[in-house]
Amino acid sequence: MYLVFIDGSGNTGMDLAHPTSTAYYLVALAVHGDHARALEDAATELLVRHFGEECRRAGFECKGRDLYRGEGPCARMSPAQRVAIYGELLALLTEHHAWLSWVAIDKVRLAKRYATPMHPHKLAFIYLVEQIERFLRARRQNGLIVSDEEKEVESQVVEDLWRYKEMGTSFGYNPMDLRCIVDNVHWVKSHNSRLMQLADLCAYLCQRQARDRGKTTATALAVQRLWENVRPRICSGKVWPTG
């Protein structure tokens, strides 16, 4: 069985006209149960080398935003140190056979297309669970979804996944029957889950590389290098609406 950790980046709720956050990204990190504990332990040991034993305490979290901006536990680190840590953490995905899928909701196009649009997270979740289902079918495996807490949409997502499993995803021209996803969404606080923290790193990088695409600053180039390194672990990606 696969454990599938999902996290988002760029959530501005129903503010679809945000001046800088023009897309919402939802990312799934899938790791087989046989490799999940080894990935978790490797991430913790890597963080111990850089942050000391403090990172073993409950509540310690090193987020993608912290590494990018030099905030939180990364406040005293140089940009080169932060990029190196980001790269080392992402390299664990290959070492421990983890895979990524992502969905981006273009907020500007969404607002133009619909007079009363859905919440971007709800739309992204529909498309992402379809990608997760395809991933699991291809490997003849079941999967359990674990999500970072999203108080704004939690109860709706739980109801939605139950309904999708009973009746299919029922959105768009090609609804999908969810046969391989087990139970419902399980919610955790990211600071209590090392694997959710890795999903956060991937979600933030996914959103950041799109925002920095085409820029030539040192920071933007570093983001693009990190993205190129993680690209082989991406099995699917989708931007919606298109055009």
Distance of CA 218 to the CA centre of its chain: 24
Give the Cα separation of 126 and 169 in Å (integer). 7
User: What pTM was estimated for this model as a whole?
Assistant: 0.92
Q: Is domain 2-240 annotated with CATH 3.30.420? A: yes
Residue ranges per domain, the chain?
2-240
User: CB neighbours of 16 closer than 8 A, spacing ≥ 6?
Assistant: 107, 108, 110, 111, 117, 120
Mean pLDDT value of segment 209-233: 95
47, 52, 57, 58: CA torsion to nearest 10: -30
For the stretch 114-156, pLDDT in tens is: 999 989 998 899 899 999 999 999 999 999 999 987 666 666 7
pLDDT of residue 68: 96
pLDDT of residue 56: 84
pLDDT of residue 243: 67
Give the three-class secondary structure for 214. Answer: coil
Cis, bond preceding 19 (omega within 30 deg of 0): no
Within 10 angstroms of residue 25's Cβ, the number of other Cβ atoms is 27
Give the Cα separation of 64 and 60 in Å (integer). 13
Q: Which two tokens stand for residue 184?
A: 């419902």
Give the Cα separation of 116 and 134 in Å (integer). 30
Within 10 angstroms of residue 83's Cβ, the number of other Cβ atoms is 19
Give the Cα separation of 29 and 95 in Å (integer). 14
pLDDT of residue 59: 81
Mean pLDDT value of segment 226-235: 96
Mean pLDDT of the chain: 91
pLDDT range class, residue 185, cuts 50, 70, 90: confident
Share of the chain above pLDDT 90, in %: 74
